[in-house]
Amino acid sequence: MEMARSTPDGEVDIDDTELLVEEDEEDKKVTSNVFWAGSNLINAILGTGMIGLPYSMKLAGLPLGLLLLFGVAYITDYSMILLIKCGAMSGTSSYQSLVSRTFGYPGYLILSALQFLYPFAAMVSYNIITGDILPKIFQRIPGVSPNNILADRRFAILGTTAVVTLPIALYRNMQRLGKVSLVSTMLTSIVLLIVIIRASSLITTIPNTEHAWVFAKWNAVQAIGVMSFVFMCHHACFLIYGSLERATVSSWSRITHVSMIISLIISLQYSIFGYVSFTGFTQGDLFENYCKDDNLATVGRFCFAITIILTYPMECFVAREVISNVFFGGNLSTVLHFTVTLLVVSFTTVISLLSDCLGMVLELNGVLSATPLVFIIPTACHLKLSSDRWHHPNNFMSCFILLLGVIIMPVGFIMAVFYPQECSHGDDMFYCLTNSTPLSTLSSYSYQNNSSGIK
């Protein structure tokens, strides 16, 4: 960088001064761009799956669950950076083109199906939660009864889709979602604070269930599926990476590390305080555990509803890009852009209107979509592109993560099918129906859960 200097007559060299100002402005622009990219990445990580983290602690056991959470976060961070490195090695700029270059057209089709399925299922889960949360919020308004249209989950889903999520999803540039993502991240922090505050009173109100504090439980593989769903954002990596003013592997690595650390800190606290509040009674959707007349929980529901409504469009961006690349060569006219967006949003809305159980969506999407996208495909691409043999020490981590994914995917699917979680279907939990629930009732409820495979 040239420095401003004085001329012999004592005047400042204007050309150099202008250059210095321009470079300062450019640095500020790049810094701002990196900040919004980081906000988008954190928002992509902390989606609806976050509310399932306390349930993953119930499945795995709290001590083992926390260790697994660290492990999944590390693997996710590693594979996100590996994905961009592979893109640089192969000269590609999208997840699909990378796999196509590495494994040909069959690999491209498999990746496209997975990359579409994950955000599509995530959008369905976002709508399901919206339908669960908003009616309970509206019923806290004086005069709104359970029979009012505002208490109808279908009205909540259709209304938010038409007024909020569809208009935002019609944006063409993801960079415009940066400020939206920042708001979403801030609201996530508020929700976490409410969960922590509420835990202090619920710990003494709701008794611990049997085996609540054991080190490990055999449902741990299901827990990994939920955690993978939470941290999986590989489908958005190239989109966010491409939004950077100065896109390099080193800058991406820094953004990824910082975003993952922030996300992990929030996830750890959410997991711990959410689980200790309800232990064996923890639901897949944590807000289903809080009673309808809990005012503080109502505030939390409101903040979380806004968060998932604002996160929905980012998933739509990814699903739309997959369709664009597979069927339209990566270029969508204005009419096609509107049509594809409308179709994707409409299909997810219809499915969410017909289904109201979140748990199965989280688990199956985690093991069937997130696991191959996080564990298997990035490492397989790296091993194929690497100039070293697969058993070289430089490829040890890729081989290890690939093997984990190959094991977790089928085992997690079998566990999710044969040991599904119970769904509350939006109803209040049994302990909300009376001010003093006998311990015998709680014990009976715990026994029924354990006998159905939910430990």
- pLDDT (0 to 100) of residue 434: 60
Q: Which residues 6+ apart lie within 8 Å of 430 measured at CB?
A: 437, 441, 445
Q: What is the pLDDT of residue 200?
A: 85
Q: Quote the Cα angle for 283-122-228, to 5°.
A: 70
CB 66 within 8 A of CB 366: no
CA neighbor of 241 nearest in space, from 40, 398, 101, 73: 40
Alpha-carbon separation of residue 63 from 173, 189, 220, 275, 416 (angstroms): 42, 23, 11, 11, 21
**Tokens in use for 80?**
């996100």
For residue 159, the model assigns a pLDDT of: 92
CA separation for the pair 362, 355 (Å, rounded): 13
Residue spans per domain, the chain: 41-420
Q: Residue 284 has which token pair? A: 């897949």
Q: Is the dihedral of CA 117, 122, 127, 132 positive or negative?
A: positive
Q: Which pLDDT value is given to residue 424? A: 63
In eight-state DSSP terms, residue 211 is T
At 47, which helix (H) or strand (E)?
none
R_g of the chain, CA atoms, integer Å: 24
Token pair in block for residue 367: 């093991």
The C-alpha angle 138, 139, 141, rounded to 5 degrees, equals 70
Is residue 6 classed as helix, strand or coil in its secondary structure? Answer: strand
pLDDT in tens, the chain (455 residues): 444 444 445 444 545 544 433 444 444 444 456 776 777 788 778 766 788 899 899 989 999 999 999 999 999 999 999 999 999 999 988 888 899 999 999 999 999 899 899 889 889 888 888 888 888 888 888 888 878 888 888 999 999 999 988 998 888 766 556 566 667 778 888 888 999 999 988 887 887 788 888 999 988 998 998 899 889 888 778 878 887 877 788 889 999 999 999 999 989 999 999 999 988 888 878 888 888 888 899 999 888 888 887 778 878 888 898 898 888 887 888 899 999 999 999 999 999 888 777 777 888 888 999 999 999 999 999 999 988 887 788 889 999 999 999 999 999 999 888 877 666 666 677 777 765 444 334 444 443 444 333 33
Alpha carbons 450 and 454: distance in angstroms, whole number: 5
d(CA 386, CA 397): 13
Hey, what amino acid is at 327?
A: F
> CATH classification of 41-420 is 1.10.10.10, yes or no?
no
- Quote the pLDDT of residue 180: 67
Residues linked to residue 6 through DSSP beta bridges, in sequence order:
12
pTM, to two decimals: 0.79
Contact 134, 305 (CB under 8 A): yes
CA 412 to chain CA mean position, Å: 19
* CA 4 vs CA 1, 9, 12, 17, 29: distances in Å: 10, 15, 7, 5, 21
Burial of 196 (0-12, 13-18, 19+ CB in 10 A): middle
Q: Nearest to residue 450, comparing CAs of 412, 422, 426?
A: 422
- Can you state the angle between helices 358-365 and 95-138, rounded to 10 degrees? 170
User: Do residues 111 and 430 touch, judged by C-beta distance below 8 A?
Assistant: no
CB 447 within 8 A of CB 250: no
CA distances from 128 to 134, 158, 329 (A): 10, 11, 32
Select from 229, 237, 238, 233 the least CA-distant residue to 368.
229
Residue 77 and residue 261 in contact, taking contact as beta carbons nearer than 8 Å: no
**pLDDT the model gives residue 337:** 92
